[in-house]
């Protein structure tokens, strides 16, 4: 019988929740990496027992953890104790927590600067990994979206990381700026039908696409309208919160922007708004049903100044028409005095029949629906603030 494994990153550690296909009884393991912020945990589609975790701390920096047994044990991919930590030339070896931005090949200077909160130009400073996206086909290849925004790739299971610097270097970098949570690259979508195509999104720069496996990039923000920036339809500078895609139709993208829920039917070349009858079109998460490419989910949040559900009611909204027409899903969710947030990486779906939908809150609840959102129940309700939720469906 299939089972599901829910990978939860929180402010104070990681938790792994497992259940059989009925999704009623859950085992909870954790905290793993107790006391550390776990921004994201994600499994390899090519080897479900291989998991990658981003472990981070304002004091001690970034750590990458890897498990090869489904989360029972973890290692930091790198030089084993006792082996030299420098190469033959005396240079320090790359290690799993070493994320170094590329510099200009001509001058050796930083590739670019970005716009700071006060409008001045500011150098890139590595802070943490927000999102890990394992390759669809190779268990040793994994992408990392980092703050300050850049995309890195490892092809040796997370030991060494190289920047895909065509993204920062393509020319619009000086117009990128940090969102309230920092300037993070938070979304990485790999096109299952075209290994050359990668989508990424950055707060607050927008969405970008590569059609040559990450070598060159260009902005794909036409149709986005952001009233809070000086030029509302600018090429870059939009605060994209999340993009989702159904693997069967990788040219169709759904976006939760700072404000507005958007849709593209042409691989991001143009976007149109599908907020429709949502009570508010601010929010962070968006995801797509595993078997119905036109069924999408969002969690409306009151506003950018008030990061909680409107009217104190935690409601997931589902559209079965690819947007515009939305229904509130409330059964099993608190409908009074609820003032939690659902962060951008904190929703996921399993691929069982019926599709399971999961999300975590800043109040420490992880809610699950085993019937595509019709009804909900908490798996756990007292974790640290949830930063990310991923799901693996294991045969």
Distance from C-alpha of 79 to C-alpha of 240, rounded to nearest angstrom? 37
String of b and e for 274-290 (b: at least 16 CB within 10 Å)? bbeebbebbbbbbbbbb
Closest to another protein by CB, 144 or 252: 144
Between 79 and 113, name the residue whose CB sits nearer to another protein. 79
Mode of pairing for the β-strands spanning 253-257 and 240-245: antiparallel
Name the residue among 87, 52, 85 with its Cα closest to residue 66. 52
* Tokens matching residue 70: 């489904």
85 makes contact with another protein (CB under 8 A): yes
Written as one string, the DSSP assignment of 314-376 is: --EEEESSSSSS-EEE-TTS--SS------TB-EEE--SSSPPEEEE-TTS-EEEESSTTSS-
Q: Using the rule CB under 8 A, which residue among 57, 104, 194, 196 binds another protein?
A: 57
**68 interacts with another protein by CB under 8 A:** no
Q: Is 34 in the site for another protein (CB under 8 A)?
A: yes
- Contacts with another protein by CB under 8 A: the residue count is 25
Q: Is residue 29 at the binding interface for another protein, with CB under 8 A as the rule?
A: no
Cα–Cα distance for residue pair 328/306, rounded to 1 Å: 20
Write the CA distances from 35 to 13, 21, 55, 126, integer angstroms: 6, 31, 10, 21
Would strands 184-190 and 261-264 be described as parallel, antiparallel, or unpaired?
Answer: unpaired
Q: What is the DSSP string of 165-196?
A: TTTGGGS-GGG---BTTBSEEEEEEE-TT-TT
Pairing of strands 128-134, 162-163: unpaired
Instruction: Give 3 or 98: the residue with its C-beta nearer to another protein.
Output: 98
Report, in Å, the least distance between residue 263 CB and another protein. 41
Nearer to another protein, 35 or 174 (CB): 35
Quick check: 95 binds another protein (CB under 8 A)?
yes
Interaction of residue 123 with another protein, rule CB under 8 A? no
Task: Please tell me whether residue 102 binds another protein under the rule CB under 8 A.
Answer: no
Supply 119's token pair: 């409008």
Radius of gyration of the chain (CA): 20
Query: Of the two residues 34 and 180, which places its CB atom closer to another protein in the complex?
Result: 34
What's the token pair of residue 169? 């270097």
Q: Out of 21, 45, 48, 61, point to the residue binding another protein (CB under 8 A).
A: 61
- Interaction between residue 59 and another protein (CB under 8 A): yes
Residues 321-350 that bind another protein (CB under 8 A): none
Residue 78 as a binder of another protein (CB under 8 A): the answer is yes
Considering the rule CB under 8 A, would residue 56 count as an interface residue with another protein?
no
Given the complex with another protein, which of 81 and 88 has the nearer CB atom? 81
Interface residue with another protein, options 80, 88, 89, 230 (CB under 8 A): 80
Measured from the CB atom, the residue of 1 and 91 that comes closer to another protein is 91
Q: Which of 1, 58, 90, 109 binds another protein (CB under 8 A)?
A: 58
- Tell me: does residue 76 bind another protein (CB under 8 A): yes
Interacting residue with another protein among 63, 183, 245, 267 (CB under 8 A): 63
- Does the protein bind another protein through residue 25 (CB under 8 A)? no
Q: Give whichever of 87 and 92 is closer to another protein, judged by the CB atom.
A: 92
Tokens matching residue 25: 């009884």
Please report, as ranges, the residues that interact with another protein according to CB under 8 A: 33-36, 57-63, 76, 78-85, 92, 95, 97-98, 100
């Amino acid at each position: 019988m299939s089972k599901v494994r829910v990978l939860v990153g929180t402010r104070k550690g990681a938790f792994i929740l497992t259940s059989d296909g009925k999704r009623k009884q859950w085992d909870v393991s954790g905290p793993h990496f107790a006391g550390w912020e776990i921004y994201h945990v994600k499994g390899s589609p090519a080897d479900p027992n291989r998991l990658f975790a981003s472990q981070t701390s304002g004091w001690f920096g970034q750590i990458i953890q890897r498990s090869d047994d489904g989360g029972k044990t973890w290692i930091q991919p790198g030089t084993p104790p006792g082996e030299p930590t420098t190469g033959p030339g005396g240079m320090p070896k790359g290690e799993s927590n070493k994320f170094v931005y590329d510099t200009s090949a001509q001058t050796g200077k930083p590739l670019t600067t970005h716009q700071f909160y006060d409008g001045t130009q500011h150098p890139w400073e590595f802070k943490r990994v927000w999102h890990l996206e394992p390759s669809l086909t190779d268990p040793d290849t994994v992408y990392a979206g980092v703050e300050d925004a850049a995309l890195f790739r490892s092809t040796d299971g997370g030991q060494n990381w190289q920047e895909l610097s065509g993204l920062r270097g393509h020319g619009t970098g000086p117009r990128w700026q940090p969102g309230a949570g920092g300037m993070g690259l938070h979304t990485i979508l790999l096109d299952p039908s075209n290994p050359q195509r990668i989508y990424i999104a950055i707060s607050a720069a927008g969405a970008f696409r590569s059609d040559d496996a990450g070598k060159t990039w260009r902005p794909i923000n036409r149709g986005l309208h952001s009233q809070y920036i000086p030029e509302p339809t600018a090429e870059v500078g939009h605060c994209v919160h999340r993009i989702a895609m159904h693997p069967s139709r990788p040219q169709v993208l759904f976006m939760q922007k700072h404000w507005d829920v958007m849709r593209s039917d042409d691989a991001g070349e143009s976007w149109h708004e599908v907020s429709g009858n949502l009570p508010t079109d601010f929010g962070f998460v968006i995801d797509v049903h595993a078997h119905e490419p036109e069924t999408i989910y969002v969690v409306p949040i009151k506003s950018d100044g008030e990061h909680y559900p409107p009217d104190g009611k935690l409601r997931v909204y589902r559209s079965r028409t690819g947007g515009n027409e939305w229904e509130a899903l409330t059964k099993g969710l608190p409908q009074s005095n609820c003032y939690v947030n659902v962060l951008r990486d904190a929703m996921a779906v399993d691929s069982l029949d019926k599709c399971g939908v999961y999300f975590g809150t800043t109040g420490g609840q992880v809610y699950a629906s085993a019937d595509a959102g019709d009804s909900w129940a908490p798996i756990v309700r007292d974790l640290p603030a949830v930063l990310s939720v991923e799901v693996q469906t294991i045969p």
